Amino acid sequence: MPRVFVSTVIDAPPARVWERIRDFNALPRWHPRIRESRIENGEPSDKVGCVRDFTLQNGDRLREKLLGLSDYDMFCTYAILEGPMPLTDYVATLRLTPVTDGDRTFAEWSAEFECADEVADDLVGGIGTNVFQGGFDALKRHFGG
């Protein structure tokens, strides 16, 4: 089972970063690769089990289900239901942890999934660079880092 793990430090307090990313429907507001997003069936975007349907800047469409959300532990876990990538059983977690030295945020984003062996390295690299690191870079720019 391939695994992707990317981490960074964001020069802002965790509560401020969490406020920016907490909304499961907010990807277009903070991730540069996302064009638009909506929560299906009019459900609240923080309801575990809700499904977001979103479009990437290149026109690809994905559907993801919120599996877990904690304001106390500042994490969200979700699964891809449909998407253009040749993978299955994709589950990812985006988590924030306080860095007490300087009131900064340690951010980590990880995922595991199943795929054919011949595409595993490309998927791990693409998700790690384009999705996870791309999102972190945008957050760091937003918070002045």
Position 144 scores a pLDDT of 84
- Whether the Cβ atoms of residue 66 and residue 39 lie closer than 8 Å to each other: no
Q: Which of 107, 110, 112, 111 is nearest to 137 (CA)?
A: 107
| Domain range summary for the chain, segments of one domain joined by + | 3-142
The distance from CA 42 to its chain's CA centroid, rounded to whole angstroms, is 21
Q: Which of 59, 41, 49 is nearest to 24 (CA)?
A: 49
pTM to 2 decimal places = 0.95
Instruction: Bin 71: left if φ > 0, else alpha if -120 < ψ < 50, else beta.
Output: alpha
Average pLDDT, the chain: 96
Q: Which of 125, 110, 134, 120 is nearest to 57 (CA)?
A: 134
Has residue 145 got a pLDDT over 70?
A: no
Q: Tokens 């595409």 identify what position?
A: 119
Q: State pLDDT tens for residues 57-109.
A: 999 999 999 999 999 999 999 999 999 999 999 999 999 999 999 999 999 99
What is the identity of the amino acid at 90?
A: Y
The CATH number of the structural domain formed by 3-142 is 3.30.530.20
